[in-house]
Amino acid sequence: MSVRVRRIYEPPEPDDGLRVLVDRLWPRGLAKDEARVDEWPKGLTPSSELRTWYHGGGSYEEFRSRYEAELGAPEAAELLDRLRKAARTGTVTLLTASKKTGESHAHVLAELLGG
C-alpha cells in the first residue's frame, strides 16, 4: 500500500501506479496526453470558495479543517473510499499543480488515504 503526492508537471514514473489528478482545474500548459492521468475525480477537490479563501491568505490549519469537512459530503466520501481501496492493492499517486505540496489539499488527501 502506498500513496504518493507529486506535482503534475513532473514526468510520469513507472512506479506511479494509479495516477489521480486532484485539482479542480486542468493544469496550465500541460497537454492531457503528456500527463497520463488515470482518474480526475473533481468531487474530491476543494470547493472554489475554499480554494479562493486559502490562496487569499487563509491558514493551512483552518484550510485543512474546512477541507476535511467538505470531504464528509456523500460524493466526496464515496470517492475517497474508492481511492482508499485502490491504495490497499497498489500505489496511488495524487497529482497536483500546487507548488507547496506539503501544504496542499493533495497532502491532506494522502494522509486521509494512509499515505
The pLDDT of residue 114 is 84
User: Which residues are within 8 A (CB) of 50 and not within 5 positions of it... i.e. 6 or more apart?
Assistant: 63, 66, 67, 70
- Amino acid identity, position 40: W
| Predicted model pTM | 0.93
- Distance (Å, whole) CA 73 – CA 2: 25
**pLDDT tens figures, 18-46:** 999 999 999 999 998 889 999 999 999 99
Read off the pLDDT band of 115 (50, 70, 90). low
Domain ranges of the chain: 2-112
Q: Which residues pair with 20 in a beta bridge?
A: 39, 94
Whole-angstrom CA distances from 64 to 12, 22, 76, 101 are 27, 15, 15, 13
Instruction: Name residue, grid cell 459530503.
Output: 73
User: Of all helices (H) and strands (E), which one includes residue 63?
Assistant: helix 60-70
- Distance (Å, whole) CA 37 – CA 98: 16
- Distance (Å, whole) CA 115 – CA 96: 15
